[in-house]
Amino acid sequence: MVPKGGARVSSRSADFRQGVIDVVPIIIAAVPIGLLWGTLAAGRGLSPLEAGLMSASVFAGAAQFVAIELWRDPVPWLLLTVTAFIVNVRHILMGASLSRHMNAIPPGWRAPLVFLMADENWAFSERRAITAPLTPAYYLGLALPMYAVWTSSTTIGAVMGRSLGDPAVLGFDFAFSAMFIGLLAGFWRGPRTGAVLAASAVSAGLAKLFVPGAWYIVIGGITGAIVAAALHAESEAS
């Protein structure tokens, strides 16, 4: 006889293990990016401790790269704070979307868990929610290895202080795009999805070219959602 909690515990560890398996390619690709960020941070005068502290407390690659671009002496802390908000404003949309799939997560856990939300583990979580309830174990299986690898690789990069080379040489930079393309296939629901994706791609591409800052993700996401809403109305009318 399996004890009463046994099945639940084993499915919990299975969920965690599945999360780790899903995220392995991502953390492999993240190592050179993290090392690169660490070397850039060291070049701007951050100590390994400060670089590691930023990765551990901010945990947002795009915002950290932008911050290093803006870093100078004296440190423009207000500009850096506002810029971090703008670069990460997409998280608001991502969190709102993910909050609809958190029924299996105790309410008190939700706010602490989203501290670890990043593009990659969010995308896997959304993908998972299509076919199975999103559990804390699966989410943490995705998020904790990412957090450990990002924090340690950026700190090591700052200790080394010089770049091992450009991650683009081996295509590591493209791994994230390829992963998102692979996940996108799981969201395909027919021609309407095609219209949403086209609207998002065109508006985000244009916004990237003509709108300063990192607004293009939010603009693309909202444009796609508006197109979906418009198509919904049409299908009801017909």
Torsion sign (Cα): 14, 20, 25, 28: negative
| DSSP code of residue 212 | S
Alpha carbon 143 to its chain centroid, in Å, reads 10
The one among 65, 76, 104, 160 contacting other proteins by CB under 8 A: 76
Per CB under 8 A, the segment of 2-10, 141-149, 153-161, 180-188 that binds other proteins is 180-188
The one among 35, 42, 137, 227 contacting other proteins by CB under 8 A: 227
The one among 162, 190, 191, 233 contacting other proteins by CB under 8 A: 233
Per CB under 8 A, the segment of 1-9, 12-20, 78-86, 155-163 that binds other proteins is 78-86
Burial group, residue 25, by CB count within 10 angstroms (0-12, 13-18, 19+):
middle
Per CB under 8 A, the segment of 9-17, 111-119, 133-141, 150-158 that binds other proteins is 111-119
Site for other proteins in 116-175 (CB under 8 A): 117, 119, 123, 126-127, 168, 170-172, 174-175
Contact between 60 and 118 under an 8 Å Cβ cutoff? The reply is: yes
Site for other proteins in 16-45 (CB under 8 A): 22, 25, 29
Q: End-to-end distance of the chain based on CA atoms, in angstroms?
A: 56
Largest Cα separation within the chain, whole Å, is 66
